[in-house]
A and B are shown apart, each in its own frame.
Chain A
């Protein structure tokens, strides 16, 4: 085989290897972009916060430890949020007894004077707290609404949904996390009897 053919073969090999690495990298990123629940080892702790509900009571994320939480950043003026709210109300009814809760973080600048009538009108059945920029920053500068985090029983972010997402994406994530056995204090998975 001539030197030229060898060089050509080497070039093709390098291109093929590069494409392989690229494909592997893209595959590795798929879970985030397709809203699939992250593997246990890739989940990171959800930042703690303390925000007030309509009654002025401080609500901490850590209050929900041991439960699967759907943390929804939303606003009354946000059309896509309005599509998702009825889904979340249904999830709250359907999964509450299995250790699941929805927590809505309203990013309305006008506060409770606009949130309260909205919540009453829509008969929202889950807890709402008033968010702020500091909390948005903790979660990676939340600007696009809705932005929703599904958090596992250990308080770790299992999936992130930016913008209007598919109802099934949420349901699949919630079901999977509810089915996962909780991990005890030494990191051993316990049998799930729920």
Chain B
């Protein structure tokens, strides 16, 4: 029985957002450093931007959870306003390839050498007829503190 239900639903799985690996970032103590994440959504899907137009929508968010750096600001892609069959009003979304730039402060007392800056990119994707549960993609970048 489950097989036939599964066949109907099999084409309707959560789209995977992918993130490119980032080359080692050099960070000078007492200065600032930037990390840019390049992300990709499959064709035909969109994710809410960081500033969705409706309160009930889950925004795109990047949170840095551990590492030697201190997050100063995160610059998200500007959402494009798109109209879908399920919404009366256009929605602020990201599609295809986009980047997220984070600016960090490098503490003056940070330990020298390589370390990992670890974060999580949360997104919630839809196509023009269905939405998929929010997902979190782990992000890890090697930082070389000098």
In the complex, chain B residues whose CB is within 8 Å of the CB of A142: 9
B86 touches A77 (CB 8 A): no
Q: What's the nearest-Cβ distance from chain A to residue B14, in Å?
A: 5
B132 touches A145 (CB 8 A): yes
A45 touches B134 (CB 8 A): no
A164 touches B58 (CB 8 A): no
A164 touches B2 (CB 8 A): no
Q: Is the interface of B mostly helix, strand, loop or mixed?
A: loop
Q: Chain A: how many interface residues by the 8 Å CB criterion? A: 31
| Residue A182 interfacial (CB < 8 Å) | no
Q: Size range of the interface on B?
A: 20 to 34
| Residue B57 interfacial (CB < 8 Å) | yes
A139 touches B5 (CB 8 A): yes
A143 touches B133 (CB 8 A): yes
- Give the residue of A75, A82, A157 whose beta carbon is less than 8 angstroms from that of B86: A82
| Residue A103 interfacial (CB < 8 Å) | no
In the complex, chain A residues whose CB is within 8 Å of the CB of B86: 79-80, 82-83, 164
Chain B interface (Cβ within 8 Å of chain A)? 1-2, 4-10, 12-14, 54, 56-58, 84-87, 91, 124, 126-127, 129-134
Chain A interface (Cβ within 8 Å of chain B)? 32, 44-45, 47, 75-83, 107, 109, 118, 138-147, 157, 160, 162-164
